């Protein structure tokens, strides 16, 4: 850049141009990295994963080095960190995609009308068995857990937001609810087991015990999400209601709760989705059975996750005349059940998000 300077020469030159890599530099390095590692892989006979890993590594080394040579250390660091951050996010997508694809690929051939409507009673070897009893068990146990958790969670959140402000008890409850979210699920199961064993003797196993264990895991989630939603309700609304002479409890029931209803439902559904996949507590306290049981308060009750676990641990043997590569019948059933379970969980999540979006509190009242 040559320009005529009218004013006196400055004390320090104006350096706004730093040597920079061209905009296509990352692309070039990327292409080179892929080609280079591909070539190496051809020579050494590696698989696609190795090629990919090597290409990423090559990119992570080459681009910062080039930048260091041209742009200096600060830009090189910046480029390295940017590449790392992008890489981390790219890699994060891999497990979910891999897992979902695997489950669909192995599970889909299993899932049919018989699979969904048969139970496992008297099923031997690769006879048609099903998950009907497990679906029933899952629904009953989870519904019962929700029936316990929602009232407690809802009232607890109301206490924290509407009554507890500044009280020591409320501070403790808030803190312990947070701690409770971290209780290992198996501990919740053992707790329920210990409780019912103490009440009814050592051999007791029942679906309701599973519900108690699950609600221990569910309550803190419901409290947290409900609390958040209640806090979003603007105080103006409450005050407007008080000003009309409405008592506090009616204000909560008629004004506060309806305003945040959508968010509360979303929170409850997400909490349900979270506990519906729990295995460990049910394994411990609800036990396992091969037939349908609709009585929460008596006898063992199988749920879908427990079903998957037992099919996995006791898969049976592959029939000797089956084509090579056939999976043991139990494993195949486990994949099928896993697909159904994931579908239920994802559906719950999706509906929850939809509900949340439909009922989203109007942003117009939040802005002052």
Partner 1 sequence: MARSIDVSDLDIYYGDFLAVQGVNLTVRARSVTAFIGPSGCGKSTMLRSLNRMHEVIPGARVEGKVMVDGQSLYDPSIDPVAVRRQIGMVFQRPNPFPTMSIYDNVLAGNRLNSRRMKKAEADDVVERSLRRANLWAEVKDRLGRPGMGLSGGQQQRLCIARAIAVEPQVLLMDEPCSALDPISTSAIEDLIHELKADYTIVIVTHNMQQAARVSDDTGFFNLKAAGQPGHLVEFNATRKMFSNPDNAATEAYISGRFG
Partner 2 sequence: MTTTTEAEPQPRPATGRGDRVFQGLATAAGITILAALAAVFVFLAIEGVPGIGKPASSYRPLESFWPYVGRLLFGTVLAALVALVIAAPFALGIALFISHYAPRALAVPVAYVVDLLAAVPSVVFGLWGARVLGPHLVPVHAWLDEHAGWLPFFAGPGSVTGKTVLTAGTVLAIMILPIITAICREVFVQAPRLDEEAALALGATRWEMVRLSVFPYARSGIVSAVMLGLGRALGETMAVAMVLSASPVYTLNLISSTNPATIASNIASSFQEATPDKLAVLIATGLVLFVFTFAVNFAARAVVARSEQRLRR
Binding to partner 2 in span 147-176, by CB under 8 A: 151-156, 158-160, 162-167, 169-170, 172-173, 175-176
Q: Does 9 contact partner 1 by CB under 8 A?
A: no
The Cα-based distances of 12 to 1, 15, 16, 72, 166 in angstroms read: 17, 9, 12, 20, 59
Distance CA 218, CA 172 (A): 19
State how far the Cα of 106 lies from the Cα of 331, in Å rounded to an integer: 9
Q: Which of 249, 237, 197, 190 is nearest to 216 (CA)?
A: 190
Min CB(89)–partner 1 separation in Å: 17
Which residues between 264 and 293 bind partner 2 (CB under 8 A)? 273-274, 276-280, 283-284
Q: Which is nearer to partner 1, 12 or 168 (CB)?
A: 12
CA distance 23 to 29: 11
CB atoms within 10 A of CB 124: 8
Name the one range near partner 2 by CB under 8 A: 25-33, 58-66, 124-132, 337-345: 337-345
Site string for partner 1, 14-33 (x = CB under 8 A): xxxxx-x--x----------
Is there binding between residue 11 and partner 1 (CB under 8 A)?
Answer: yes
Told to check if 367 binds partner 1 by CB under 8 A, we report: no
Residue 22 or 47 having the CB closest to partner 1: 22
The interface with partner 1 within residues 60-89 (CB under 8 A) comprises: 74-75
Within positions 206 to 225, which residues make up the interface with partner 2, using CB under 8 A?
A: 216, 219-220, 223
Does position 7 interact with partner 1 (CB under 8 A)? The reply is: yes
Residue 61 CB partners (closer than 8 Å, separation 6+): none
Site string for partner 2, 291-320 (x = CB under 8 A): --------------x--xx--xx-------
The answer to the question of residue 3 lying near partner 1 (CB under 8 A) is yes
CA–CA separation, 130 and 261 (whole Å): 38
Binding mask 61-90 for partner 2 (x = CB under 8 A): -------------xx-xx--xx-xxxxxx-
How many other β-carbons are positioned within 10 Å of the β-carbon of residue 18?
10
- Measured at the CA of 13, the angle between CA 8 and CA 18, to 5 degrees, comes to 150
DSSP state at residue 163: I
If binding is defined by CB under 8 A, does position 10 make contact with partner 1?
A: yes
Q: Which does 347 bind (CB under 5 to 8 A by kind): partner 1, partner 2, none?
A: none
Please say which residue, 78 or 236, places its beta carbon nearer to partner 1: 78
Contact in structure between 228 and 361 (CB atoms under 8 Å)? no
Three-class SS state of 272: helix
Q: CA nearest 262: which of 282, 287, 232, 236?
A: 232
**Residue 360 DSSP one-character state:** P
Q: List interacting residues with partner 1 (CB under 8 A).
A: 1, 3-5, 7, 10-12, 14-18, 20, 23, 74-75
């Amino acid at each position: 850049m040559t320009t005529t300077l009218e004013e006196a020469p400055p004390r320090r030159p104006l350096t706004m141009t730093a040597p920079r890599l061209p905009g296509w530099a990352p692309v070039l390095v990327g292409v080179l990295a892929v080609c280079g590692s591909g070539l190496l892989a051809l020579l050494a006979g590696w698989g696609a994963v190795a090629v990919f890993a090597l290409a990423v590594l090559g990119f992570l080394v080459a681009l910062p080095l080039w930048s260091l040579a041209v742009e200096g250390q600060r830009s090189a660091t910046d480029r390295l960190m940017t590449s790392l951050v992008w890489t981390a996010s790219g890699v994060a997508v891999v497990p979910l995609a891999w897992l979902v694809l695997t489950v669909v690929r192995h599970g889909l051939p299993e899932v049919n009308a018989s699979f969904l409507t048969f139970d496992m009673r008297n099923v031997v070897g690769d006879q048609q068995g099903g998950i009907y009893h497990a679906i029933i068990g899952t629904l009953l146990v989870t519904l019962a857990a929700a029936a316990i958790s929602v009232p407690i969670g809802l009232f607890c959140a109301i206490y924290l937001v509407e009554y507890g402000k500044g009280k020591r008890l409320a501070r403790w409850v808030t803190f312990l609810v947070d701690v409770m979210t971290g209780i290992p699920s198996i501990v919740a199961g053992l707790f329920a087991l210990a409780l019912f064993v103490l009440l009814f003797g050592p051999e007791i196993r029942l679906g309701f015990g599973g519900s108690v264990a699950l609600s221990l895991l569910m309550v803190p989630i419901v409290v947290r999400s409900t609390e958040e939603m209640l806090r979003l309700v603007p105080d103006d609304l409450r005050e407007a209601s008080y000003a009309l002479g409405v008592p506090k409890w009616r204000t909560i029931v008629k004004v506060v709760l309806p305003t945040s209803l959508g968010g509360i439902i979303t929170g409850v559904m997400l909490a349900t989705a979270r506990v519906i996949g729990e295995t460990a507590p049910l394994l411990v306290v609800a036990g396992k059975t091969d037939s349908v049981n609709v009585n929460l308060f008596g006898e063992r009750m199988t749920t879908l996750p427990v079903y998957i676990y037992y099919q996995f641990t006791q898969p049976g043997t592959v029939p000797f005349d089956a084509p090579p590569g056939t999976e043991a019948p139990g494993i195949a059933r486990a994949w099928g059940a896993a697909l159904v379970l994931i579908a239920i969980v994802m559906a719950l999540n999706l509906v929850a998000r939809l509900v949340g979006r439909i009922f989203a509190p109007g942003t117009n009242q939040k802005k002052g």
